[in-house]
A = this chain, B = another copy of it.
């Protein structure tokens, strides 16, 4: 009886809807970090042998859009053939990058609505390489975004620009 009640309460907390809101909240902050970069630095500034923030943002786009489509359809593109890896289809301006970002926001919302609850526990081979339950795959995508966005924070600080506050998320 107590176990049953625990199960139901848990279900009202870390729900799929809460996870989507959490993810889109992070995406909204990452969008503001892209916007904070001067156009030139977005595509050219690097440090420590790392990638530009535009390249990192493209990786986030590739994991989010093709990622959520793979989770729903089980059709995965190969990680090495995605735009952030090949450079093909890479946006050339901040406006193009932001337009693609917004497109992926809608893709994420509509594919998320297609995920059946039992899907979260099923194992997938994401991008033909990474074997995990769906829920862990999703947490990985979100964590990867936080990770690279934080590196963008350092780039902005080094450029003398104050990043948007980390805690300011819907």
Q: Mark A2-40, 1 if CB is under 8 A from B, else 0.
A: 000111111111111011001000100000000000000
Q: Are A9 and B150 in contact (CB under 8 A)?
A: no
Q: Are B120 and A10 in contact (CB under 8 A)?
A: yes
Give the A interface residue count (CB, 8 A): 47
Q: Are A147 and B146 in contact (CB under 8 A)?
A: yes
Taking the closest CB of chain B, its distance from the CB of A103, in whole angstroms, is 25
Copies per assembly = 2
How long is the Cα–Cα vector from A83 to B118 in the complex, in angstroms? 44
Query: Which residues of chain B have C-beta atoms less than 8 A from A143's C-beta?
Result: 26, 146, 166
**Which listed residue, B19, B117, B154, B160, touches A6 by the CB 8 Å rule?**
B117
Residue of B nearest to A145 (CB): B146
How long is the Cα–Cα vector from A137 to B143 in the complex, in angstroms? 16
Query: Which residues of chain B have C-beta atoms less than 8 A from A13's C-beta?
Result: 120-121, 133, 135
How long is the Cα–Cα vector from A159 to B156 in the complex, in angstroms? 19
How long is the Cα–Cα vector from A121 to B13 in the complex, in angstroms? 6
Q: Closest 9 interchain pairs by CB?
A: A48-B157, A14-B14, A150-B150, A6-B117, A13-B120, A48-B158, A9-B117, A147-B150, A154-B154
